[in-house]
Amino acid sequence: MMNSPHEYDDIPGTYVFDGSHNRLGYHLNMFCKSLDVAANRDAFRSGEAAYLDHYPLTPEQRRAILERQWLEMLRLGGNIYYTFKLAIFDGLTMQHAGAAMSGNGMTTEEFQQMMLAGGRSITGNRSRRETPRG
């Protein structure tokens, strides 16, 4: 299935959770959602790879989960709200996950400071086609 280009496709580091990403990441997100149930968390804790066998994940999704490649999970269709359930399982805060998803090696402390200072600069982070308003 071919997807038409979207106006947001060229925004650096952006993985919009649209219909295409929803279909791509459905099973990855259902795995993450399963961690809402204590018995599932226990099963996952006792054997992560075996637990993932219950979900028809792509090899790339499976690897991203097992290696906790947060940004890769988003690229592979993960929804940030669902993937954060895995981060919580690991005892991470939103700041830890945000830093890991920044894609540029940002530390948790750097991420926290950036957010306290007003967030990521828009410079270089908007559509390459968009003309800045002035």
- pLDDT given at position 125: 61
Based on the domain organization, do 32 and 70 belong to the same domain?
yes
List the domain range (segments joined by +) for residue 102. Answer: 93-121
Asked if 100 and 71 touch (Cβ cutoff 8 Å), the reply is yes
Closest by Cα among 4, 9, 1 to 129: 9
Q: What is the pLDDT of residues 27-78, one digit of tens each?
A: 999 999 999 999 999 999 999 999 999 999 999 999 999 999 998 999 999 9
Q: pLDDT tens, 69-108?
A: 998 999 999 998 999 999 999 999 888 887 877 767 778 8
> Can you tell me the distance from the alpha carbon of 71 to that of 115, in angstroms, rounded to the nearest whole number?
18
In a domain, 38, yes or no: yes
Residue count of the chain, please give it.
134
Residue 35 CA to residue 31 CA, distance in Å, equals 7
Residue 98 lies in a domain: yes
Rg (CA), the chain: 17
